[in-house]
């Protein structure tokens, strides 16, 4: 099962892009987005340097020396690749949406549905970014604020609350199901039904699982293995507790895993009806 772009994926992408591009001058910029090409025509990025690349929840922010930031959001199928100049791309040219090239590396965004330029000074008031909840991969993560924001939606099913980026940034559909299983929480319990201990456990577990999937390795990041791990097992077939395992036996109690579509986006939630009764 291909990994869905969630907070861990975006964090790894940003870190890789930062290593490749940071401090290097832009020598070429291309995009299929008219709004981006207009900005580039008026204020060429080829006169700028990439200052840094960072993640903010599921958003990737590429900062340039001219006080401009490129925000991209991958949604379900977008991705960033890094190539040496002249290296053959692993995706079709027709799937290219944004290209930022330096003399040493080229960053190519494929199938990216959302991309815009923002002035650095406007980041704090950006309509989307300014409303993001605490990010489990941010060193400044505010645990108490995350709990408070979840508690502010008392009638919302906890499975939906964990996906609301205004409450807690970075978690997506995979981690949502895995966090709820790890904490033994019924996905459809309303937030109001959970006590402070349970909410704290959910927030702590979400942060732990996100961080575990970008943990330190020999190059400063955990090597990307092509699959997420929440069970601690290296075998890709055993790496997740419940996600993608409908009708298969629970790894703890052998009860068949259940799946249901719910919420405005009809997202899939996987859970064990025996282990998750709280």
Q: How far apart are CA 104 and CA 41, in angstroms?
A: 23
Largest CA distance in the chain: 62
Q: Please identify which of the residues 25, 34, 44, 58 carries the catalytic annotation.
A: 58
Q: How far apart are CA 39 and CA 46, in angstroms?
A: 12
Q: How far apart are CA 268 and CA 275, in angstroms?
A: 18
Q: Please identify which of the residues 3, 6, 25, 273 carries the catalytic annotation.
A: 6
The verdict on whether 261 is a catalytic residue reads no
Q: How far apart are CA 41 and CA 2, in angstroms?
A: 37
Q: How far apart are CA 266 and CA 199, in angstroms?
A: 24
Cα angle for residues 212, 215, 221 (degrees, 5° grid): 145
Q: How far apart are CA 248 and CA 256, in angstroms?
A: 5
The verdict on whether 58 is a catalytic residue reads yes
The verdict on whether 6 is a catalytic residue reads yes
Residues marked as catalytic: 5-6, 58
């Amino acid at each position: 099962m291909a990994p869905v772009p969630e907070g861990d994926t975006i964090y790894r992408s940003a870190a890789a892009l930062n290593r490749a591009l940071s401090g290097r001058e832009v020598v070429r910029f291309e995009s299929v987005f008219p709004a981006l090409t207009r900005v580039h025509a008026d204020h060429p990025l080829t006169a700028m340097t990439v200052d840094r690349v960072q993640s903010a929840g599921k958003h990737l922010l590429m900062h340039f020396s001219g006080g401009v930031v490129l925000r991209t959001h991958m949604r379900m199928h977008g991705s960033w690749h890094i190539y040496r100049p002249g290296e053959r791309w692993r995706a079709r040219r027709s799937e290219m949406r944004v290209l930022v090239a330096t003399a040493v590396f080229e960053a190519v965004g494929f199938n990216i549905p959302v991309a815009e330029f923002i002035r650095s000074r406007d980041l704090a008031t950006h309509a989307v970014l300014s409303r993001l909840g605490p990010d489990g991969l941010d060193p400044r993560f505010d645990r108490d604020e995350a709990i408070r924001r979840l508690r502010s939606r008392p009638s919302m099913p906890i499975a939906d609350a964990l996906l609301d980026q205004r409450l807690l940034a970075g978690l997506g559909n995979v981690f949502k199901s895995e966090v709820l299983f790890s904490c033994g929480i019924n996905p459809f319990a309303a937030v109001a039904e959970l006590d402070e201990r349970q909410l704290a456990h959910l927030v702590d577990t979400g942060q732990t699982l996100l961080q575990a999937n970008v943990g330190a390795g020999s190059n400063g990041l955990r090597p990307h293995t092509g699959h997420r791990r929440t069970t601690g097992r290296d075998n890709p077939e055993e790496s997740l507790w419940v996600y993608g395992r409908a009708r298969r036996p629970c790894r703890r109690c052998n009860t068949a895993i259940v799946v249901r579509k719910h919420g405005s986006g009809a997202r899939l939630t996987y859970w064990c009806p025996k282990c998750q009764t709280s």
